[in-house]
Amino acid sequence: MLTRRAFGDDFIWGAATSAAQSEGAWNEDGRGPSIWDTFAAQSKNLSGNNGPAKGSDFYHQYPNDIRLLGLLGFKNFRFSISWSRILPNGHGRINQKGLSFYHRLIDLCLLKGITPWCTLYHWDLPQALQDKGGWANRDIINYFEDYVHLVTNEFGDKVKHWMVLNEPTAFTGVGYFLGLHAPGKRGLSQFLPAMHHAALCQPIGEMVIRSNVPNSYVGTTYSCTGIHPHSQSVQDVQAAERMDAMLNRLFVEPAMGLGYPVKSLPVLRKVYDYFGPNDEKILPCNFDFIGLQPYTREVVSHRFIIPYLQARLIPANERSVQHTAMNWEVYPPVMREMVEKFAAYSNVKDIIITENGAAFPDQVIDGRIDDQQRQSYFVNHLKELQNCVLDGLPVKGYFVWSLTDNFEWAESYRPRFGLIYVDYEDQTRIVKDSGYWFQRFLSKTN
């Protein structure tokens, strides 16, 4: 039976958003364009109202959204800073109106008894820095360090909980290798330097936060996916190992002082072409926590013709399993699989689930969204997490993705993850039944 009490009184409950997906106001009050603004403008699927320009209008709607967050019983709010809102050119000139917005947001959270958790980078690089090569340009390390100094000096007296990067495997792999996300780059010559520079920014970000924010609680977040071979054939098992190295181990192992997983994925050896003389010593981190973002599992088969990985992900709809609007299998055991996998690293201290949720088709009927599938998803995943806590695994918190419906990257606005429904025509909000389920669950003492 799922009970709040089983998690303990100190367990952290929260909901999450990101700037690029929710804020909108892309050209207001001095904000500069990000790579997602440019990518959307150049994409047939994301042009016009399908891009991030409006989001869920959090820039203007945040007082009501924070009110609703509190109404649902959450005491923690994860959000990200838009780099281009405070530094329109990525470096140099500071946009005071951008800083003022985040001061207002943070102050309101604190006034309402809600703890702010700030993500420094959630995929929205200033376009001006991408024009210089973006994450594939080693200069990004210096730009990022300066940006983190600015943010932590500005807000560090009020914000103590920090995440350096959000899902670096995703923003480097999908944005700089596959070209499916901003900035739309492809190939190893883009991906490997971008990957390495992002990995270096993990310890650099941690170091800057600790130097500027007394009593800080510092981590970063990782996408993570259960990886299962399609069969027990040697080829499928080895394909799954390569996919696991790419999707789960690529960034956490350098942070743990283990280096890149080149033994499992030999193509990664080429990354050493981009190493500086002290990089190997710089890569390890000393995070207080790592954020895990488990949504689903993937079933992997060997496929020789696919470059580098020789592996294929078999889509959920091809396997005739229950799946979400993202075509992700609903597979609650992934929660325990990922917690156990990452807890096995000796340097991991605390684990926080910094994202978990599901997109399903939502219908407004008589002013209500009866989203039973989403409620079931949360209940079954939280049961798995509860067992992790009861078994003594170091899980300290859980954040729902997401507070509101929002811009879902290359999928535009079609998938709805929110506990709160957003009518994108007039930006009105309706709390879904899943949101009210959390309200009841979090209010219980048993």
CA-based nearest residue to 291, from 200, 203, 218, 230: 218
Label residues 299-334 b or e (16+ Cβ within 10 Å = b). bbbbeeeeeebebbbeebeeeeeebbbbebbbbbeb
Cα separation, 81 vs 123, whole angstroms: 10
The DSSP call for residue 26 is: T
CA distances from 168 to 201, 249, 285 (A): 10, 11, 15
Cα separation, 190 vs 101, whole angstroms: 34
Q: Give residue for tokens 């190939």.
A: 187
- Residue ranges with strand state E in 23-171: 76-80, 115-121, 161-166
Residue type, 193: P
Q: Strand pairing partners for 178? A: 186
Q: Please list the alpha-helical segments (H only) found in 295-371.
A: 334-343
Cα separation, 99 vs 103, whole angstroms: 6
241 is catalytic: no
Cα separation, 316 vs 319, whole angstroms: 5
Cα separation, 383 vs 6, whole angstroms: 10
Active-site position among 23, 154, 167, 241: 167
CA-based nearest residue to 56, from 80, 27, 21: 21
Q: Strand pairing partners for 423? A: none
Cα separation, 85 vs 378, whole angstroms: 33
The sign one gets for the Cα dihedral 18, 22, 27, 30 is: negative
Task: Identify whether 183 is preceded by a cis peptide bond (ω within 30 of 0).
Answer: yes
Q: What's the per-residue H, E or C state across 21-37?
A: HHCCCCCCCCCCCEHHH
Q: Please list the alpha-helical segments (H only) found in 245-322.
A: 252-255, 279-282
Task: Identify whether 18 is preceded by a cis peptide bond (ω within 30 of 0).
Answer: no
167 is catalytic: yes
Active-site position among 329, 355, 384, 408: 355
Two tokens at 155? 């807000």
Active site residues: 167, 355
